[in-house]
Amino acid sequence: MTSLEALCVQRGLRLTEHRRIVLEVLEAADDHPCVREIHRRAADGHRIGIATVYRTLNTLVEAGLVKRQAFPDGKAHYERAGRPSHPHLIDVATGTIVEIDDVGLESLLEQEARKLGYNLVDYSLKLFARSR
């Protein structure tokens, strides 16, 4: 049983083709597409409205299957969740996003949160940089 099927069973949701497609697009993505782009990929060969993509992504984010990130372009970008968080490098000249291997920050960040009386749930690290 896939995690999507599990989600649907647990939440009393219907397992629709559209939900499968959106999740597949994110499984296949090695970048961080915005909604418009996810819709473009999902609509390739299928009939799916952009409102459905928005609704599906919200469902998947709530379920924890997908992660939403606020990017400086003012749009939300998405990626499949489950993998550990990792930093992103953003080329300030071109907007290109590069994934970075975890530099071993997680435990450091956990300590920092604990000091303030919190438990770390997740983190987001963006490096803004210029190519040389």
Partner DNA sequence: CTAAATGCAAATCATTTGCAAAGAG
Partner DNA sequence: CTCTTTGCAAATGATTTGCATTTAG
Residues that constitute the known binding site for Fe cation: 106
Q: Which of 10, 74, 79, 82 binds its own copies (CB under 8 A)?
A: 74
Rounded to an integer, what distance in angstroms lies between the CA atom of residue 20 and that of residue 23? 5
CA-wise closest residue to 69 among 26, 111, 112: 26
Sequence ranges of the binding site? 106
Burial state string for 10-23 with b = 16 or more CB within 10 A and e = fewer than 16:
eeeeeeeebbebbb
Size of the site for its own copies (CB under 8 A): 35
**Between 48 and 109, whose beta carbon lies closer to its own copies?**
109
Q: How far apart are CA 14 and CA 65, in angstroms?
A: 16
Does 100 engage in binding with its own copies (CB under 8 A)? yes
Q: Which does 61 bind (CB under 5 to 8 A by kind): DNA, its own copies, none?
A: none
> Hey, which residues does 34 pair with through a beta bridge?
77
| Cβ atoms 90, 77 nearer than 8 A | no
Residue 24-53 contact track with DNA, rule CB under 7 A, x = bound: ----------xxx----------xxxxxx-
Give the binding site for its own copies (CB under 8 A): 68, 70-72, 74, 76, 87, 89, 91-92, 98, 100, 103, 105, 108-109, 112-113, 116-132
